[in-house]
Amino acid sequence: MSIKIENVRKSFGNFHALDGVNLEIPSGELVALLGPSGSGKTTLLRILAGLEAADSGRILVEGRDTTEDHVRERQVGFVFQHYALFRHLTIFENVAYGLRVKPRATRPDKDYIHSRVTELLKLVQLDWLGDRYPAQLSGGQRQRIALARALAVEPRLLLLDEPFGALDAKVRLELRHWLRRLHDDLGITSVFVTHDQEEAMEVSDRVVILNAGQIEQVGTPEEVYDAPATPFVHEFLGLTNLFTGHLRQEVLAAGRNVKVTEETALDDKQGAHAYVRPYDFEVSLQADGEDYIPAELRFAQTIGNIVRLQFIIPGREEPVRVELEKTKFRALRVGIGAKLFLKPRHVQIFVKDRKDAAWAGTGS
Amino acid sequence: MPFSFKKRSVLPGFGLTFGYTLFYLSLIVLIPIGALFLKSSTLTGSEFWATVTAPRVLASYRITFGAAFIAAFFNLFAGLLIAWVLARYEFKGKSILDALVDLPFALPTAVAGIALTTVFSVNGWLGKPLNALGIHVSYTPIGIIVAMIFISLPFMVRTVQPVLEDLEKELEEASATLGATRLQTFRRVILPVLTPSLFTGFALGFARALGEYGSIVFIAGNMPMKTEITPLLIITKLEQYQYAEATAIAAVTLIISFVLLLFINWVQWHNRRKYSL
């Protein structure tokens, strides 16, 4: 089921939750709406479901305008962050709910309901829990039941609102992969909301990054990570170091390692944001050229196979965050206070463009 | 392991607070009620039986328990509706309406009785049109029910309202996305969540109506066998210095009420155990 969102706006009082959103979701894709809290991602999902009405704009489903349709006519499956299971009903009855409330004319008979619910409980691998009540289940189990319940009415579109947000890390990881497999098996269109960039990158076909009610970028996980459209996207997708300054032509010319995302209108002293990810630094004992920055090691912490380092650079208040493999760090044979040299391997540069005020003020 | 009455807990002060609870309940509840039973035991078995099964007494039980049940049942719907409006909608003057609900709590019951009698009397604002329709409220069992509805309404509203306010919006949304109509959502999702509080509200309202005296005696007319409530009968016995008879009737009322409340508590406990282990 393909979806087209046209210029959707929504305000709550003075707060613009969605500020003119346009998006197309092709049939069969698993799409992640990613953004910080307050970015409008949940509002967009709820408008898709019909739980919230847009102030203006249209939602087209396979070319048909569904903006005015009532929730129960939309044939969407909705999974809530806190499961929203009916606690007075057994697991079986929870899953059967959507079938039991169908209009009399289309309501399936008892045998069908029984076999359909059993089939769904098998699908979520919890068919042995049918007689229990939601309070007796763990969080991960409840969320799987919530999914089975949503799937019972054979929705054309599955919407998930931070489905793994309330679960612990290990269960979250398991359910992620499981959701991906389920989506592929069922062949439906799914949209899920998350603020966890790792989750979005790992599970989805395409990531939609939202900020302050607007879409910053749409693309495959690889695209948005390797070629972020805005500084916001780069900053949101992982730890990074920001260097502000002016871009000179010769840096650009010499920039074997420098990637320029905005090549227009580069005059001599263009204000620019340069980002370097912590793992994109080379750390050495001597400077082998002019690209090396002198730095003093201030802090080191080993986490598994990685050592997280913080360096102080003269003339800069913020420490520079660097990640090294443990073996590489050991090979340096240095400790806190050592004077070392950093060389960025890969720099992502954003030039401040007066036309695009959206990210002109980003950075610190 | 030695037998211990108290389970291990990090909360301090069990001994002190439990002791105080026992002492206080004894002083305020158990001792007076014990005295009541003691006094009624001055009657012989047959005297006791004759007193509590006298036709006039039986009639008063019927009218008191019957009217209290009907009043509580009526408030089940009226109270739910008022609680629903107060909990779910925002409107001007909501706080005034909210305060109005508590008025029967605060009003001296005699004042309520006089006010109701005035309004429902043959020439009263409501009594006159109702009389024209052939419905007589004052000096009939209907008057007793009206007074009981009035004084027990807040119990229903105040027990259901917080539960409605806490009701997760997601449950209704989930129900809607699964294709349920509003009526189906109410019947299958909201009502089951409310049921325990409806039971409690019913029990409290029923108990309150059973014990009501002040407002009813004004509107009921107090005709023996017809509109005479048990509390009034007890007062009448007391005024005739028949203390033992009065306490016997009181004891029976007490036991019936206690059994009813116990039953409702048992239903509650049963429900709780079923849904959330």
Q: Which domains does chain B have, with CATH numbers?
A: 62-226 (1.10.3720.10)
For residue B276, the chain A residues in CB contact (below 8 A) are 87, 133, 135
Instruction: Give the closest of B173, B179, B188 to A51, CB-based.
Output: B173
Per-residue model confidence (pLDDT) at position B77: 94
ipTM of the complex: 0.81
**What mean pLDDT is reported for chain B?**
88
What is the C-alpha separation between A45 and B173, in angstroms, rounded? 13
d(CA A189, CA A154): 12
Q: What is the pLDDT of residue A254?
A: 39
pLDDT digits (tens, 9 = 90+) for A176-189: 888 998 899 888 99
CA A281 to chain CA centroid, Å, is 26
Residue of B nearest to A107 (CA): B179
% of chain A beyond a pLDDT of 90: 48
Residue matched to tokens 């001055």:
B42
Specify the length of chain B in residues.
277
Residue A312, classified by CB atoms within 10 Å of its CB into exposed (0-12), middle (13-18) or buried (19+), is middle
Lookup: tokens for A144: 């799987």
What pLDDT sits at residue B151? 92
DSSP state of B26: I
Could you tell me the two tokens for A155?
Answer: 């929705």
Q: Does B182 touch chain A (CB under 8 A)?
A: no
Cα–Cα distance, A321 to A308 (Å, whole number) = 7
Asked if A87's CB is within 8 angstroms of B275's CB, the reply is: yes
Please, are residues A191 and A199 in contact by the beta-carbon 8 Å criterion?
A: no
- Residue of chain A whose alpha carbon sits nearest to that of B276: A135
What is the DSSP secondary structure assignment for residue B8, as one 8-state letter?
A: P
Instruction: Tell me the H-state helices in chain A.
Output: 41-49, 91-100, 110-123, 139-151, 169-186, 197-203, 221-226, 231-236, 249-254, 326-332, 357-360
Nearest-5° Cα angle at A210, A207 to A213: 150
Residue A218, amino acid: V
Of A76, A82, A101, the CB nearest to B184: A101
Which residues touch B168 (CB under 8 Å, ≥6 apart)? A82, A84
Q: What is the pLDDT of residue A73?
A: 83
In 3D space, the residue among A102, A148, A345 whose CA is nearest the CA of residue B184 turns out to be A102
Interchain proximity B178–A97, CB inside 8 Å:
yes
> Is B8's Cβ below 8 Å from some Cβ in A?
no
**Taking CA atoms, what residue in A is nearest to B179?**
A72
User: Apex CA B154: angle with CA B151 and CA B155, to 5°?
Assistant: 95
Distance of CA B93 to the CA centre of its chain: 28
Across the interface, of B168, B184, B275, the residue whose CB is closest to A88 is: B275
Average pLDDT, integer, range A159-181: 88
Q: Which residues in chain A are closer than 8 Å to B274, comparing Cβ atoms?
A: 133
Spans of chain B, pLDDT less than 70: 1-6, 275-277
Query: Rounded CA gap, A76 and A69, in Å?
Result: 12
Gap from A50 CA to chain B (nearest CA, Å): 9
Integer Rg of chain B from CA: 23
Which amino acid is located at B147 in the chain? A
Residue of chain A whose alpha carbon sits nearest to that of B187: A101
Q: Report the distance separating Cα B52 and Cα B212, nearest Å.
A: 20
Residue A292 pLDDT > 90, yes or no? no
With CB atoms and an 8 Å threshold, state whether B174 touches A153: no
Which pLDDT belongs to residue B276?
59
H or E element at residue B58? helix B55-88
Q: pLDDT tens digit string along A13-28? A: 889 999 989 999 999 9
pLDDT at position A101 is 92
Give the lowest-confidence range in A91-95, A191-195, A228-232: A228-232
In 3D, which of A227, A254, A209 has the Cα closest to residue A349?
A227
Give the separation between CA A77 and CA A146, rounded to whole angstroms: 10
CA separation for the pair B80, B86 (Å, rounded): 10
Residues A176, A144: contact at Cβ < 8 Å?
A: no
Residue A259: the pLDDT is 39
Count other C-beta atoms under 10 Å from residue A225's C-beta: 17
Measured from the Cβ of residue A82, the count of other Cβ atoms closer than 10 Å reads: 15
Minimum CA–CA partner of A104 in chain B? B180
What is the reported pLDDT for B152?
A: 92
Beta-carbon separation of A71 and B170 below 8 A: no
pLDDT reported for residue A55: 92
Average pLDDT over residues A284-296: 82
What's CA B204's distance to the chain center, in Å? 4
Is the Cβ pair B178, A101 closer than 8 Å?
yes
- What CA–CA distances, in Å, run from B258 to A265, B40, B156, B250, B253? 87, 17, 19, 12, 9
Predicted structure pTM score? 0.79
* Chain A CB within 8 Å of residue B53 CB: no
pLDDT at A322 over 50: yes
Mean of the pLDDT values across residues A296-321? 90
pLDDT at res. B8: 72
| SS percent in chain B: helix, strand, coil, step 5 | 75, 0, 25
Distance from CA of A73 to the nearest CA of B (A): 7
Round to whole Å and give the CA distance between B80 and B161: 8
Chain A interface, Cβ < 8 Å to B: 49-51, 71-72, 74, 76-78, 80, 82, 84, 86-89, 97-98, 101-102, 133, 135-136, 146, 149-150, 152-153
What pLDDT sits at residue A149? 94
* CB neighbours of residue B27 within 10 Å: 10
Between CA A183 and CA A185 the distance in angstroms is: 5
Question: Which pLDDT belongs to residue B144?
Answer: 92
Give the minimum alpha-carbon distance from A220 to chain B in angstroms, rounded to a whole number: 29
- Quick one: which of B238, B262, B272 has its CA closest to B40? B238
pLDDT (tens digit per residue) in B3-27: 566 677 777 888 888 999 999 999 9
Nearest CA among A83, A45, A46, A2 for reference residue A191: A45
Determine the pLDDT at residue A360.
Answer: 32
pLDDT at A145 over 90: yes
C-beta atoms of A133 and B179 within 8 A: no
Any idea what DSSP says for residue A195?
A: S
At B171-189, the pLDDT tens digits run: 999 999 999 999 999 999 9
User: Which residues of chain A make contact with B188, given a CB cutoff of 8 A?
Assistant: 86, 97, 101
pLDDT recorded at residue A89? 92
Q: What is the pLDDT of residue A278?
A: 92
The answer, yes or no, to whether residue A256 has pLDDT greater than 80, is no
Interchain CB contact of B191 with A (< 8 Å): no
A41-81 pLDDT tens trace: 999 999 999 999 999 999 998 888 888 888 888 889 999 99
Pick among B168, B169, B175, B178 to test the A interface (most A CBs inside 10 A): B178
| DSSP 3-state of B27 | helix
